[in-house]
Amino acid sequence: MLQSLAGSSCVRLVERHRSAWCFGFLVLGYLLYLVFGAVVFSSVELPYEDLLRQELRKLKRRFLEEHECLSEQQLEQFLGRVLEASNYGVSVLSNASGNWNWDFTSALFFASTVLSTTGYGHTVPLSDGGKAFCIIYSVIGIPFTLLFLTAVVQRVTIHVTRRPVLYFHVRWGFSKQVVAIVHAVLLGFVTVSCFFFIPAAVFSILEDDWNFLESFYFCFISLSTIGLGDYVPGEGYNQKFRELYKIGITCYLLLGLIAMLVVLETFCELHELKKFRKMFYVKKDKDEDRVHIIEHDQLSFSSIADQAAGPKEDRKQNEPFVGPQSSTHPDGSAGN
């Protein structure tokens, strides 16, 4: 008897704090996923980094042996300056791009990466004035971009997602949940095809050093706003139609970001995902909601009463001064 009571109390306790338990498991799962990613990246990339370090040490030692007039300190100073310039997008190699990093099309591409928070990092402001302007420009531009994208995605979602789902539900009598799932899958497939596979094939043709995997990797890193900066199109040597190419890439990134947000919003509106998300949210207490409603009603009533009393007081203030009227008895005589 006691065991059954204890078991039922534990079940009630778990059900009462179900959201907290789900949130705890969510945090634990996220931390484990971070550790899993760190372990995989470390095990895969660390051997390649070690091979690259060994190769660079061999090249440096061979270069110093062939040029005995040059000391190791002088070589390191030169290489340090070259690497510092390379971090700012300036290269000393003869086969590097001869185009400027801050012409109008390149600056337009840079502004789009800043506002979309992609930030490849291949080109950065050189001057203190440019860095200060970048801060101010981002503080204003990033919220502006979020507002712009939210408005665009809301309008596109109505025509691309909600109306087609409602049409098939009303016109053909299909289940709204089933139609929404099928529509989300088809929309995701079309988006991946139009903004990942096809552009990856195009980039693999236009960029001499990119294969299809590297091109697809660039599309995903860019449209997910990760922006690692290891692959940036239009930076090759003697790139043909570079200005037009940069403008096209800017338009592709903007349209692709909108398409990704529309797909994400479409999946988030699925009934099953809404139920799944609510498992981790804090449930509002009904008593607290009732108190908030009562307080809101009282505040609204008091504001209406104040607004109604305001004109009456104004009329009294505008009336000419009238002295107090003397009270009269029923027989018509004035009272003392």
Residue range 109-146, pLDDT digits in tens: 899 999 998 887 778 888 889 899 999 999 999 999 99
Residue range 172-184, pLDDT digits in tens: 888 889 999 999 9
Residue range 1-52, pLDDT digits in tens: 545 555 566 666 667 777 788 888 989 999 999 999 999 999 999 999 999 9
User: The domain that contains 118 carries what CATH number?
Assistant: 1.10.287.70
Judge if 141 and 57 occupy the same domain: no
Judge if 36 and 151 occupy the same domain: no
In a domain, 309, yes or no: no
In a domain, 116, yes or no: yes
Judge if 244 and 130 occupy the same domain: yes
In a domain, 70, yes or no: yes
Distances (CA, A) of 40 to 36, 45, 47, 95, 220: 6, 8, 12, 36, 19
User: Which residues, in sequence order, are CB contacts of 85 under 8 Å at separation 6+?
Assistant: 91, 92
Residue range 272-326, pLDDT digits in tens: 888 888 888 887 665 555 555 455 545 444 444 444 444 444 444 444 434 444 4
In a domain, 44, yes or no: yes
Judge if 120 and 174 occupy the same domain: yes
Judge if 230 and 196 occupy the same domain: yes
In a domain, 314, yes or no: no
Q: Which amino acid is residue 114, in one-letter code?
A: V
- What is the Cα–Cα distance from 283 to 269, expressed in whole angstroms? 19
Domain range holding 161? 99-281
Judge if 218 and 142 occupy the same domain: yes
Judge if 22 and 140 occupy the same domain: no
In a domain, 8, yes or no: no
- Among the candidates 67, 88, 109, a domain finishes at 88
Host H or E run for residue 99: none
- What is the Cα–Cα distance from 155 to 230, expressed in whole angstroms? 34
The domain total for the chain is 2
In a domain, 286, yes or no: no
Is the Cα torsion angle 310, 315, 321, 322 positive or negative in sign? negative
In a domain, 219, yes or no: yes
